[in-house]
């Protein structure tokens, strides 16, 4: 016994008069599909390019911010005899009982302080450069 096939539903929209064969209809449908796919792929490509640009610029900004934070933290916590002002070195000499510091050069004061075992003091803000101060300020503001 043969299976009963459902009848093919008739088209409700009229066929365009120029499409006389199935091959013409297939060709027209393929062209329409190809053009819609091309639009979709162009749209996706634009979206991916914008996303890639945003991610790379955000990554660069994060890297720059992290570098500034690290350098400013190092800067604020850094210690150095050489970066001290003459007055701050004289104050350290006075506190630690070194005499004759007023006639000493900065280098001689540093040598005396090191020989006494005085801990290296933090760099004072007045000894920082403009770029170092800006980096330290940015770090403080972004905390």
Both tokens of residue 88?
Answer: 């701050």
User: Contact at 8 Å (CB) between 127 and 85?
Assistant: yes
Instruction: Determine the average pLDDT of the residues in 32-37.
Output: 79
Report the interhelical angle of 22-77 vs 130-141 (nearest 10°): 110
Tens digit of each residue's pLDDT (9 = 90 or more) over 80-135: 888 888 888 999 999 999 999 889 999 999 999 999 998 888 877 677 778 887 87
Both tokens of residue 29?
Answer: 């449908």
Lowest mean pLDDT among 9-23, 43-57, 114-128: 9-23
Output phi, psi for 122, to 5 deg: -65, 155
Q: How confident is the model at residue 61 (pLDDT cuts 50, 70, 90)?
A: confident
User: Contact at 8 Å (CB) between 136 and 68?
Assistant: no
User: Contact at 8 Å (CB) between 93 and 118?
Assistant: no
Looking at residue 130, what is its pLDDT? 83
Tell me the range of 4-13, 24-33, 85-94, 127-136 where mean pLDDT is highest. 85-94
- Please state, in angstroms and rounded to a whole number, the distance separating the CA atoms of residues 10 and 42: 36
Query: pTM for the complete prediction?
Result: 0.42
Looking at residue 76, what is its pLDDT? 57
Q: Where are the domains of the chain?
A: 23-141
Mean pLDDT, all residues of the chain: 76
């Amino acid at each position: 016994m043969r299976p009963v096939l459902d009848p093919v539903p008739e088209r409700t929209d009229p066929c365009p008069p120029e499409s006389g064969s199935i091959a013409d209809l297939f060709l027209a449908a393929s062209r329409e599909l190809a053009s819609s796919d091309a639009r979709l792929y162009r749209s996706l490509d634009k979206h991916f390019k914008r996303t890639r640009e945003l991610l790379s610029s955000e990554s660069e900004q994060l890297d720059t911010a992290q570098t500034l934070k690290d350098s400013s933290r190092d800067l604020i916590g850094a210690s150095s005899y050489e970066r001290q002002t003459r007055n701050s070195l004289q104050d350290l000499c006075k506190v630690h009982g070194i005499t004759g510091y007023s006639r000493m050069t900065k280098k001689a004061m540093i040598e005396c302080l090191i020989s006494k075992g005085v801990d290296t003091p933090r760099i004072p803000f007045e000894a920082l450069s403009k770029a170092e101060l800006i980096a330290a300020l940015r770090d403080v503001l972004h905390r």
